[in-house]
Amino acid sequence: MAEAGIPGYAYGAREVARSPVSLEELDLLRQTVLFTGEDERYLRMAGEVLEGRLDELLDVWYGFVADHSHLVYYFSSPEGEPIQEYLERVRERFKRWVLDACRRPYDQEWLDYQQEIALRHTREKKNRTDGVEAPEEVSLRYMISFIYPITATVRPFLEEGGRPAEDVEKMHQAWFKAVVLHVTLWSQPYAREGSF
C-alpha cells in the first residue's frame, strides 16, 4: 500500500474504491469554483514554489493544530495525549497531498483518492491506516472551516518564491479554488442521505 516510501499513501492503489462522484459532477463543481485550465497551470507553478518548502509549510499547519486543543484532539489517544507517530505519518501524506493537489490531473484516479481521503477523516476509515486509537471522526464543521487557514497560510510561501506579484496572486487564487474543491468532495461521506 505504500508508494514513494510514504506509509499509508495509496494514490492509484487497487484497494481504493471508486468515488461516488462522477466526472460529470466534478465538472459542475469545477465550474462552480471557476476552475479553469489557467488555474491548472498556476497550480503547477505553485507546486514548484512549494516543493522545497513542504516541511516549513507543515510546521505552520501543525503548529496551528498543536496550539488548539479542539484540533489536536483528533490526533490524540483516549487519554488525551497527542500520538506522535500518528502525527508524523499523516504529516508525510499531507506533504504529498500538497504536491498532488498542484500536479495531478483531476481525473478518475484523483477523484477516487479524494473519496479515500474523505473516508479517512470519517468514522468509516479514520485511524485504520495508522492503527491508532484516536477520535473516530473529524467533525464536518472543522473540515469546512479549515478552508480558511489552509488557504491563507500558503500565501507567504507563494510570495517568497520570487515570482512576479501577478503570478503570486494567480497561484494563490488557483490554490484557494483547489482547496475548496477538495473540501467539497471530502464532505460527501458526512452528508445525510441525498443531501450531498
Q: Residue numbers of the site for its own copies (CB under 8 A)?
A: 25, 28-29, 31-34, 68, 70-71, 122-123, 137, 139-142, 144-149, 151-152, 173, 176-177, 180-181, 183-185, 187-188, 190-196
Q: CB 106 → ligand HEM: shortest distance, Å? A: 15
Provide the mask over 121-140, with x wherever binding to ligand HEM is found by CB under 6 A and - wherever it is not.
Answer: x----xx-xx-------x--
Our CB check for ligand HEM shows the closer of 23 and 148 to be 148
Q: Are 115 and 20 in contact (CB under 8 A)?
A: yes
Our CB check for its own copies shows the closer of 52 and 148 to be 148
Cα distance between residue 147 and residue 178, in whole Å: 10
* Cα angle for residues 116, 120, 123 (degrees, 5° grid): 125
Nearest partner of 41 among 189, 183, 188, 173, judged by Cα: 173
Residue numbers at the binding site for ligand HEM (CB under 6 A): 8-9, 65, 71, 74-75, 90, 93-94, 97, 117, 120-121, 126-127, 129-130, 138, 142-143, 146-147, 150, 179, 182-183
